[in-house]
Amino acid sequence: MKVIVVAILISSFLSLKTEAAPELLDSVSVIVDQGVVLESQITELVTVVKRNAMLNDQTLPSDRVLRTQAIEKLILDNLQMQMADRMGIQISDPQLEQTIANIAQGENMNITQFREKVAQEGVTYNTYREDIRKELILGEVRRANVRRRVYITEQEISNLVKLIDEQGEQQAEYNLGHILIEFPPEPTDEDIEKAKTRANKVIELLNSGSDFSRIATASSGGSRALEGGDMGWMNINSMPTLFAEAVQKKSKDDLIGPIRSGAGFHVLKVKGLRGIEIVEVTEVSSRHILIKPSVILSDDKAQKMLEKFREQILTGDADFAALAKEHSADPGSALKGGDLGWANPNVYVPEFRDTLGNLEVNEISAPVRSQHGWHLMQLIDKRVGDATEKRKEEKAHQLLFQRKFSEESDVWLREIRASAYIEVLVQQGA
């Protein structure tokens, strides 16, 4: 069966013009279950990494090491995309465009300016769109498969709330660099000793002034190797427990490790430190009507349906609550006339949150598109309240979820990688 898949994929690149001169065809480099990784994909990813490294003045390891890292990433991406196909996970064009609009807004650009920026970076806009679509799909696959593996008890939340109380409202955040020197799942004493020796060598190189991101890309077996081991900013309570214990009382540029775990030896670098401040929460009371586009109901018709509802409500010919009960696709609020109750607006998706933020009390919005569909919203009221205790519990749950989700994501990726049929084909000159 896998041979057939490979043959079909290769044949798709054959020219239909038999009179044309022979051309160099793309080739299959890795067989991944029912899919393949093409040589062009590897080349493209390595090129992107090199381009980003040049823009960020980052030193990279050899092409051979980069190729190995790229292949591993593409294998994992391929496995997840196959899973997405089986699960029927898709990202529609309106969802995609909304996401890109949010990215552009985050960089204080309109879509035209953002497209120009993408082009200046040597990427076509269509390629960029499909890359974003792929990342969104991968995110949905991970959430669907990993979320159910995360279990948080009330006792864990209570314990963390106590810890937050002890630490005060000023919470430290760390920007960490990470290098993982792996050993096998059931290592021998020799495997452990070899990995420890390599980890100590990494520490030695870093202490002598070697670039952390270069060493991470060349040597790390972690999921962020191609990003130079950059784990981004994390609250101490959202880190893996092993890291959280190790970074306490550390300063900027401190090296930590090697720290042993079940996966290998970890080397950390504190790249930055900052504090966060908890402020008063502004809550909003709102309601909405959600219309989800479908095969039967086009995106355009869904929008026009809500425009008609808005007109009817404003003229007094219809009642918002009655329309929500009859038409809204949000089962949690429809029976309550669309009422969402009091909530921190930050819990909503960006399009919903931002629209509410621009409404006056009792004002009804124009139809707004989000990843969930089309919304008609009304701001009922707003208030500034003392939600300290509730905020602590929400924050504790969020931090615990982030920590466990991150840990379980890595485990899940290793599991699907280990259970898959992977065959790396030898390429000429590789």
Q: pLDDT tens for residues 57-91? A: 888 888 889 999 999 999 999 999 999 999 999 88
Looking at domain 281-385, its CATH architecture is: Roll (3.10)
Task: Tell me the average pLDDT across 169-176.
Answer: 72
Task: Tell me the average pLDDT across 184-202.
Answer: 90
Q: pLDDT tens across 227-284, in order?
A: 888 988 888 778 888 888 888 778 888 999 899 988 899 999 999 888 644 456 788 9
Q: Given this chain, do its domains 171-276 and 281-385 carry the same CATH topology?
A: yes
pLDDT-derived band at 123, boundaries 50, 70, 90: confident
- Cβ atoms of 134 and 89 within 8 Å: the answer is no
Give the span between the Cα atoms of 343 and 389, in whole angstroms. Answer: 14
| pLDDT at residue 25, as a whole number | 60
Say what percent of the chain tops pLDDT 90: 47
- Mean pLDDT score across all residues of the chain: 85
Task: Tell me the average pLDDT across 153-163.
Answer: 88
Long-range CB contacts (within 8 A, 24+) of 40-48: 41/74, 42/67, 42/70, 42/71, 42/74, 45/70, 45/73, 45/74, 46/70
| pLDDT at residue 23, as a whole number | 47
Q: Is the pLDDT of residue 19 over 50?
A: no
| pLDDT at residue 156, as a whole number | 92
Domain ranges of the chain: 171-276, 281-385
Task: Tell me the average pLDDT across 330-357.
Answer: 92
| pLDDT at residue 364, as a whole number | 96
Say what percent of the chain tops pLDDT 70: 89
| pLDDT at residue 425, as a whole number | 86
Most confident of 42-51, 167-176, 366-375: 366-375
pTM, to two decimals: 0.50
Structure tokens at 344: 């921190």
| pLDDT at residue 426, as a whole number | 67
Q: Is the pLDDT of residue 5 over 50?
A: no
Q: Is the pLDDT of residue 98 over 50?
A: yes
Looking at domain 171-276, its CATH architecture is: Roll (3.10)
| pLDDT at residue 384, as a whole number | 81
| pLDDT at residue 381, as a whole number | 94
Q: pLDDT tens across 42-62, in order?
A: 988 888 888 888 878 888 888
pLDDT-derived band at 122, boundaries 50, 70, 90: confident
pLDDT-derived band at 167, boundaries 50, 70, 90: low
Give the span between the Cα atoms of 399 and 98, in whole angstroms. Answer: 27
Q: pLDDT tens across 99-109, in order?
A: 999 999 988 99
Long-range CB contacts (within 8 A, 24+) of 335-341: 337/287, 338/287, 338/288, 338/289, 338/378, 339/287, 339/380, 340/285, 340/286, 340/287, 340/288, 341/285
Task: Tell me the average pLDDT across 139-167.
Answer: 87
